[in-house]
């Protein structure tokens, strides 16, 4: 076991001081000679049979040390993390302080590794928290709205000769230009005014226009190589159509449902509206419960991890120079991090375990959301080392369902709210509604320490690393799957003076 100590740099960051003795490094040196012997071609020797003295003569012992450190650093880092019971949530950044003597490999390998860790905090007692949600009512307006949605499924589009209004369907021709240059064109686009499914500003531009009228407006593009850029968009309406709904009568009830009368159909829709209202209450209760916990505790945020996540997000949107949006994304990322820390703490306090059946069920549900076959979805997760992230999500959902069962939930009328479909009891399977409790999206979630501990620490071979050399860390992942692929790399040299630094966050 390597010798290691921990220096706390901040509530979310530590420095591991790792000392590896010559005896502990010896297996890595032996493997280094074996690997180099297989890789080099030296006249008079078969591959893999090159003696160590010849490798020393031709390659230099510095190359052997580099290879040995590159191979062993990951294991030494993991040992230190486990020995010091660290809950790692980010990429390790390693710095080689001292290397063994080249002449006989004597002396210690000394490495410092900085890494983000989960902050420590305590949650308040759940039974002291009361959250208030809107009262659930299956009123006539809600039933009418549900009935109209059902009628819309059986409606037909009829061309009308009048100005377009919200809710109408229009056929459009669009041409986008930037600085007078056409960059995109689309014809015969069908669009429902008010749906918000096209460009920002288009609803205001086309509302009140009639067929064959056209106008222009400015909008930021949302796709293609010009995504995020503002363009001038010329739009022409070629047709205006309104949805004609069937009459809400017994004939419609028989056509659209298993009921014979519209009264029976409305009664069924009343039950559905009530169920939806309860679901809305449950979702609101979860959100307000988490907000109450976030207000009750101070959770430090690792600045570099958040900064790197925000940079990745903005880079993907081609909006790195948008300071206003950067502030919005930063705020959202910080809240997301704190939320996941709270959920992880709840899961830890409840000692939540995820069974194979629970994971399988969640995988099937998630695959359906992405329109993928379950096995294809699992294969994609395995290729991206994302399965630990999914296990973490299931654990958080279970933990939240357990904690929510201990909270007082009332509606705006002061009446207790029954959240049977959203709560669970410790040791029991979660309720059916819990699969909707996903509070931390996988493409943007903060790191889970169990998976982050798997982030390898490796050292690439280099002939010489100049003194004081240090490369900036790569993007620190904000989710456990990304941390899985976050190797800490440190180049070894023929002789590294104290404080010799090396890049420790290149992704493999």
DSSP 31-82: HHHHHHHHH---TTS-TT---HHHHHHHH-HHHHHHHHHHHHHHHHHHHHHH
What is the pTM assigned to this prediction? 0.65
Percentage of the chain with pLDDT > 90? Answer: 50
- Asked if the model's pLDDT at residue 192 lies above 90, the reply is yes
- Asked if the model's pLDDT at residue 486 lies above 50, the reply is no
- Asked if the model's pLDDT at residue 261 lies above 80, the reply is yes
Question: Which residues does residue 176 pair with via DSSP β-bridges, in sequence order?
Answer: 184, 233
- Asked if the model's pLDDT at residue 83 lies above 90, the reply is yes
- Asked if the model's pLDDT at residue 48 lies above 90, the reply is no
284-301 pLDDT tens trace: 999 999 999 999 999 999
Q: What is the pLDDT of residue 109?
A: 92
Q: How far is it, in rounded angstroms, from Cα 90 to Cα 251?
A: 62
Confidence of residue 165 (pLDDT cuts 50, 70, 90): very high
- Asked if the model's pLDDT at residue 351 lies above 80, the reply is yes
Q: How far is it, in rounded angstroms, from Cα 254 to Cα 263?
A: 11
Q: How far is it, in rounded angstroms, from Cα 297 to Cα 118?
A: 14
Q: Average of pLDDT values for 126-155?
A: 89
Q: Average of pLDDT values for 198-205?
A: 92
Identify the sign of the CA torsion 184, 187, 192, 193.
positive
- Asked if the model's pLDDT at residue 236 lies above 90, the reply is yes
Q: Average of pLDDT values for 218-243?
A: 89
Q: What is the pLDDT of residue 44?
A: 65
Q: Average of pLDDT values for 190-215?
A: 92
Structure-token match 């003597």, residue found: 101
Tokens of 20: 């590896």
Of 3-7, 439-443, 463-467, minimum mean pLDDT range: 463-467
If one compares 444 and 373, the residue with the highest pLDDT of the two is: 373
Neighbour tally for 324: CB within 10 Å: 8
Q: Provide the residue count of the chain.
A: 508
Give exposure, 378-414, as e/b (b: 16+ Cβ within 10 Å).
beebeeebbbbbbbbbbbbbbbbbbbbbebebebeee
Tokens of 382: 């395995």
Percentage of the chain with pLDDT > 70? Answer: 81
- How many CA atoms lie within 13 Å of 246's alpha carbon, on the beta-carbon side? 18
Q: What is the pLDDT of residue 460?
A: 35
Q: What is the pLDDT of residue 409?
A: 93
Tokens of 88: 């790692």
Q: How far is it, in rounded angstroms, from Cα 116 to Cα 302?
A: 7
Contact assessment for residue 402 and residue 350, using Cβ atoms and an 8 Å cutoff: yes
- State how far Cα 335 lies from the chain centre: 13
If one compares 169 and 36, the residue with the highest pLDDT of the two is: 169
49 exposure class (CB count in 10 Å sphere: 0-12, 13-18, 19+): exposed
Closest CA to 245 of 346, 147, 110: 147
Q: Average of pLDDT values for 211-229?
A: 87
Question: Which residues does residue 296 pair with via DSSP β-bridges, in sequence order?
Answer: none
- How many CA atoms lie within 13 Å of 416's alpha carbon, on the beta-carbon side? 7
Q: Average of pLDDT values for 105-129?
A: 93
Of 47-56, 110-119, 464-473, minimum mean pLDDT range: 464-473
Q: What is the pLDDT of residue 457?
A: 52
Q: Which domains are seen in the chain, by residue range?
A: 3-119+450-489 (3.30.70.1050), 126-136+263-447 (1.10.3120.10), 156-244 (3.10.50.40)
76 exposure class (CB count in 10 Å sphere: 0-12, 13-18, 19+): buried
Question: Which residues does residue 130 pair with via DSSP β-bridges, in sequence order?
Answer: 408
Q: What is the pLDDT of residue 66?
A: 87
When the pLDDT of each residue in the chain is averaged and rounded to a whole number, the result is 81
Q: How far is it, in rounded angstroms, from Cα 24 to Cα 28?
A: 8
Q: How far is it, in rounded angstroms, from Cα 23 to Cα 8?
A: 29
């Amino acid at each position: 076991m390597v010798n290691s100590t921990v220096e706390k740099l901040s509530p979310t960051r530590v420095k591991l001081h790792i000392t590896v003795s010559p005896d502990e490094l010896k297996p890595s040196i032996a493997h280094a000679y074996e690997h180099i012997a297989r890789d080099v071609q030296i006249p008079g020797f078969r591959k893999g049979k090159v003696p160590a003295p010849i490798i020393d003569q031709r390659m230099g012992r510095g190359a052997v040390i580099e290879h040995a450190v590159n191979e062993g650093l990951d294991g030494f880092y993991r040992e230190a993390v486990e020995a010091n019971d660290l809950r790692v949530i980010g990429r390790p950044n390693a710095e080689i302080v001292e290397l063994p003597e080249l002449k006989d490999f004597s002396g210690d390998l000394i490495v410092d590794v900085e890494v983000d860790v989960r902050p420590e905090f305590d949650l308040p007692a759940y039974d002291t928290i009361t959250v208030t949600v809107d009262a659930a009512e299956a009123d006539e307006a809600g039933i009418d709205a549900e009935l109209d949605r059902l009628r819309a499924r059986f409606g037909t589009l009829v061309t009308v000769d009048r100005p377009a209004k919200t809710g109408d369907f229009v056929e459009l021709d669009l041409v986008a230009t930037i600085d007078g240059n056409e960059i995109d064109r689309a014809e015969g686009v069908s669009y429902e005014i008010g749906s918000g499914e096209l460009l920002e500003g288009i609803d205001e531009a086309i509302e009140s226009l009639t067929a064959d009228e056209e106008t222009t407006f400015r909008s930021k593009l949302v796709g293609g190589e010009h995504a995020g850029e503002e363009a001038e968009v010329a739009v022409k309406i070629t047709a205006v159509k309104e949805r004609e709904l069937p009459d809400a009568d017994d004939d419609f009830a028989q056509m659209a449902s298993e009921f014979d009368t519209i009264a029976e159909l409305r009664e069924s829709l009343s039950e559905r509206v009530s169920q939806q209202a309860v679901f809305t209450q449950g979702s609101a209760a979860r959100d307000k419960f988490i907000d109450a916990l976030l207000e009750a505790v101070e959770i430090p945020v690792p600045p570099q991890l958040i900064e790197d996540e925000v940079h990745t997000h903005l880079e993907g949107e081609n909006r790195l120079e948008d300071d206003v949006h950067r502030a919005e994304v930063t705020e959202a990322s910080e809240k997301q991090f704190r939320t996941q820390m709270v959920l992880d703490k709840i899961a830890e306090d409840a000692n939540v375990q995820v069974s194979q059946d629970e994971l399988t069920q969640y995988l099937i549900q998630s695959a359906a959301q992405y329109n993928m076959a379950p096995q294809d979805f699992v294969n994609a997760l395995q290729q991206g080392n994302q399965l630990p992230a999914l296990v973490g999500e299931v654990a958080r959902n279970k933990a939240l369902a357990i904690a929510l069962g201990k909270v007082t939930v009332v509606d705006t009328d002061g009446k207790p709210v029954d959240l049977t479909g959203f709560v669970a009891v410790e040791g029991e399977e979660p309720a059916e509604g819990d699969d909707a409790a996903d509070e931390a999206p996988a493409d943007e979630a903060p790191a889970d320490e169990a998976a982050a501990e798997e982030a390898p620490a490796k050292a690439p071979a280099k002939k010489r690393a100049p003194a004081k050399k240090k490369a900036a860390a790569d993007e620190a992942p904000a989710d456990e799957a990304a941390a899985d692929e976050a190797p800490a790399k440190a180049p070894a040299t023929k002789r590294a003076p104290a404080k010799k630094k090396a890049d420790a966050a290149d992704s493999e």
